[in-house]
Amino acid sequence: MRASIGSLLVLLAAGCGGEVEIDLVRASFDSPFQGLDRLRVSVLDSAGALLTERDLDPLAPDWRVPGLDPGSGRVVLVEGLAAGELRARGESGPLTLAAAETRRAPVPFATLPVAIALPISSIASGVVQVDGRLDEWANAPVAAVLGARNAVIGQPRNMADLSARVQLAWGADGVYVAVRVLDDCVLCDPLYPDMIIVSWDGRGDREPNYYGPDDGYVTVGPSLIEAPAHVVAGVALLPGGYTVEVRIGWEALGVPAARGELRMGLEIEIFDGRGGAYQVVEAWVPSPDPLDRRPFPAEMGTLAVETWP
């Protein structure tokens, strides 16, 4: 079973010797390949158009996708399927496939709902300024996505109505969360502001019906930021949506500064307000009562803090 950190997927350029070696990085406690019958690899261009799609054997000794045209802005989506059901997922940042050149990149690959944070120094371009603009995250892999399948209240009309892509990292100052939200009606109702709520269980002790000192949440939206001590957040408006950036300090998480291989709880909820109500709420892990309370730690998904390379 291919289940070790560093499982390798190789993209090969047609006729020019160029390749990208992709590390499918898994959490130390997770087995995302277990029980899979297919590994579906999709390569997209910078506009999101499908360039190629291959179904690969998850038990094969290696995985290769040959015959790709050289170019930049390539995004690789890796989906683990069992009997047609999505069980695991990973997505790269934009990659360049160049002639006679070998590059290496990480793709966090995890069972749902597990998300992986890699060292900020290995995936961000420059020092991260927590201002909501996400410039430093341009080439970072995607750790999780939210869309119609994550709706716990209402149903979005399409991805542009409400969806999000989440990037995660960690560093000396804490855990970083970057979220790109598509929302075609931002700031439409001041009484029901559009927002994201990020909740955490720093020690991963999964309390069933109460919150410990290592648990908390931050609320961020285009019109509000409510952050507890040792948490910094920023937001920026964009055409068709907004972006959010959060740094949760190790003090807020109740654990010493990480050096890799930590396990904690995480939840991300997105609220779309308009017409006198929250018409759609999406949650990374199904949230039992998003309008009245935050999920207890036992109801959260799992964040894995891992090292790479």
Same domain, 94 and 203: no
> Can you give the pLDDT at residue 5?
39
Q: In sequence order, which ranges of the chain are alpha helices (DSSP H)?
A: 120-123, 250-253
Look up the pTM and report it.
0.94
Same domain, 229 and 301: yes
In angstroms, the CA 247 to CA 250 distance is 9
Q: 128 lies in which domain range?
A: 116-305
Say whether 234 sits in a helix, a strand or coil.
strand
Q: Into how many domains does the chain fold?
A: 2
CA distances from 110 to 29, 195, 273 (A): 10, 26, 31
Q: Looking at residue 287, which CATH number applies to its domain?
A: 2.60.40.1190
> Can you give the pLDDT at residue 4?
41
> Can you give the pLDDT at residue 3?
34
Q: From first to last of the 309 residues of the chain, give the pLDDT tens digit.
A: 233 434 888 888 876 778 999 999 999 999 999 999 999 999 999 999 999 999 999 988 779 999 898 899 999 999 999 999 999 999 999 999 888 888 899 999 999 999 999 999 999 888 899 999 999 999 999 999 999 999 999 999 999 999 999 999 999 999 999 999 999 999 999 999 999 999 999 999 999 999 999 999 999 999 999 999 999 999 999 999 999 999 999 999 999 987 778 999 999 999 999 999 999 999 999 989 999 999 999 999 999 999 998
Is 34 a domain residue?
Answer: yes
Same domain, 161 and 260: yes
The structure tokens 């989440």 sit at: 166
